[in-house]
Amino acid sequence: MLDRAARRRLDPLLERWAARCIAFGLSADAVTMIGFGIGLVAMLFIAAGHDLIGLALLLLNRTADGIDGAVARRTRPTERGGYLDIVLDFILYAGVPFAFAVGHPEHALAAAFLIFAFVGTGTSFLAFAIFKPDAPRLGKAFHYLGGLTEGTETIAFFALVLLFPSTFAVAAWIFGALCWVTTLGRIGAAMSALR
């Protein structure tokens, strides 16, 4: 829901960082892998109960996720790069609640529900891209089917629960329910578009 507005504000900064990465000799795939490595370390800190360090690293990971696309657009975007980017994003999105459950086992059921909801948003998103490859891509590797809970909202959710861990259970149940609203909306849009 907020991704396009967030991108309008962030893209100029990401473009400047992308130019620096290119000057340093980094490819888009390299930025993707570095960002994913940072995300894995964030998950380790979260699992160890160091939520603020985990949040800082997660924000760095999400920044790298924006930079890799800017690097690709300035150099040579590839389907392989687009594939790698989205797969690693979805692994990280499921990994953060898992790591939180490891560090805060009292919230494991809420984390499981959130991961379940993320499967719904992820599959409804990716399946549409498979069956509607001719849909407008808007500068991306494939068409992004929007929804109530997109990347910006997910990052805001992660920031909230890592800053205030005691809110995780309630926030995860609410955010997971909103993810299911997104999933149902995407299924409806896809069923209409694929007639």
pLDDT of residue 71: 92
CATH of the domain at 187: 1.20.120.1760
Q: What is the pTM of this model?
A: 0.85
Residue 112, Cβ density class (10 Å: 0-12 exposed, 13-18 middle, ≥19 buried): middle
pLDDT of residue 141: 56
pLDDT of residue 150: 83
How many domains does the chain contain in total?
Answer: 1
Per-residue pLDDT in tens (0 to 9) along the chain, 195 residues: 655 666 677 777 778 888 888 889 889 999 999 999 999 999 999 999 999 999 999 999 999 998 998 899 889 888 899 899 999 999 999 999 999 999 999 999 999 999 999 999 999 988 887 877 665 555 555 556 667 788 888 999 999 999 999 999 999 999 999 999 999 998 998 888 877
Residues contacting 161, CB < 8 A, separation 6+: 100, 167, 168, 171, 172
| CA–CA dist 144, 132 (Å, integer) | 11
pLDDT of residue 4: 66
53-62 long-range Cβ contacts below 8 angstroms, 24+ apart: 54/99, 54/162, 55/158, 55/159, 55/162, 55/163, 58/96, 58/155, 58/158, 58/162, 59/155, 59/159, 60/35, 61/35, 61/36, 61/92, 62/35, 62/151, 62/155
pLDDT of residue 126: 86
The residue range of the domain holding 102 is 3-193
| CA–CA dist 139, 64 (Å, integer) | 17
pLDDT of residue 3: 56
